Amino acid sequence: MKVCPPDKAFWLEDERTLRSTDELADALSNMKPETFKHHVNEVRNDFANWIEHVFKQKNLAEQIRKAKTRENMRKILKPEKARNKVHKARKAITVDPDYKSSPEPASHIALAAHIALGIVAGSAVTLLVLMVL
């Protein structure tokens, strides 16, 4: 997940700040209609502009620009958020170079799988962990 620097944060009309598309997805779930309309209307789509210019994700920005409701935007951002969780899980799992000589290699595998599954729990992503010893 990319997190923008504080000076590129998105300031919502209700004074909350967002620094990632994951935070935007979460904010959309409880955003007041008047706040949404302030940022997304017939003239502009501040969320799409922010995604395009700060994160350089033109395709995602175009999808957000076409979405006209909070729910549609959340549906677009939800898979992005799930991908970010999987990426974060992969980064969190490190392989011990001496794990074959480790007295309990199965516990390391179980711990790595537990971490990966815990990070993506509750998302729409199905994670299969295949380990070949």
Domain boundaries, the chain: 6-120
Q: Tell me: the pLDDT tens digits for 35-92? A: 999 999 999 999 999 999 999 999 999 999 999 999 999 999 987 766 666 666 777 7
What pLDDT does residue 78 have?
87
Q: What is the pTM of this model?
A: 0.63
Tell me the helices (H) and strands (E) count for the chain, helix number first.
6, 2
Q: Is 73 helix (H, G, I), strand (E, B) or coil?
A: helix
Instruction: Considering only residues 120 and 3, tell me which one the structure prediction assigns the higher pLDDT.
Output: 3
